[in-house]
Structure formats: C-alpha cells, structure tokens
C-alpha cells in the first residue's frame, strides 16, 4: 500500500524567503534579518511536522536549503549592520561620513 505524499507546509515559501534573506542583507541588514528570522521560525515548524511523520511529506529538501540560506542571510545581515554601526561611530554619525566623502573627493581632484 503506497501512501500519497503531500507537500510539506510552506516548503517553497521557506526556500524563497531564504533566498530573499541573502538578497535583503544589502538593505542595511535589517530587511535580510527580518526575512531570515521569519524563515528560521517557519523552517522550525516545518521540520517538527516532518519529523513527526516523515513518510507523509515531501519537500523536506527545500526546507533544509531554505534554512541554510536563512542562516547565511542572517550572518551577512548582522555583519552588514555591525559594519554600518561601526562606520557611524568611527566617523561620528552621518555628518562625519559626508565630511569624509568630501575630503576623499577633494584629494582625488573632483
């Protein structure tokens, strides 16, 4: 007797959000972190459902890949956010960054 396997809930969504978390890390790190955290929560729920009855579901590979992408996206987002915070502290806020850019342009003769 062969069981009819059904798609794991949110498996494709988890994969898409995992990809968006990596792309979103370029938006000051905040958008990527939001996508990554959302993906990790959905993936945890999907993994619990799958582990309860693995013979009933397919699409577990998408969940695993989406989860890995979300972890990578979260790490990149945190690093990007820390870099921005460090630059703001180092250069004294946005005014300091603008002054630094002006100095660089003057040195290059622009």
pLDDT digits (tens, 9 = 90+) for 1-57: 456 889 898 999 999 999 999 999 888 889 999 999 999 999 999 999 999 998 899
* Region of poorest pLDDT, from 25-34, 45-54, 69-78, 95-104: 95-104
State if pTM tops 0.85. Answer: no
Residue 58: what are its φ and ψ, rounded to 5°? -125, 165
Contact between 35 and 87 (Cβ < 8 Å): no
End-to-end CA distance of the chain: 76
């Amino acid at each position: 007797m062969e069981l009819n396997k059904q798609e794991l809930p949110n498996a494709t969504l988890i994969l898409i959000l995992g990809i968006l978390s990596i792309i979103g890390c370029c938006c000051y790190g905040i958008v990527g972190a939001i996508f990554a955290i959302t993906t990790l929560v959905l993936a945890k729920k999907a993994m619990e459902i799958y582990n309860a009855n693995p013979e009933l579901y397919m699409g577990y590979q998408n969940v695993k890949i989406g989860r890995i992408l979300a972890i990578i996206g979260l790490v990149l987002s945190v690093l990007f956010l820390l870099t921005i915070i460090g630059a703001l502290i180092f250069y004294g806020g946005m005014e300091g960054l603008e002054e630094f850019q002006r100095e660089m342009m003057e040195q290059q003769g622009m």
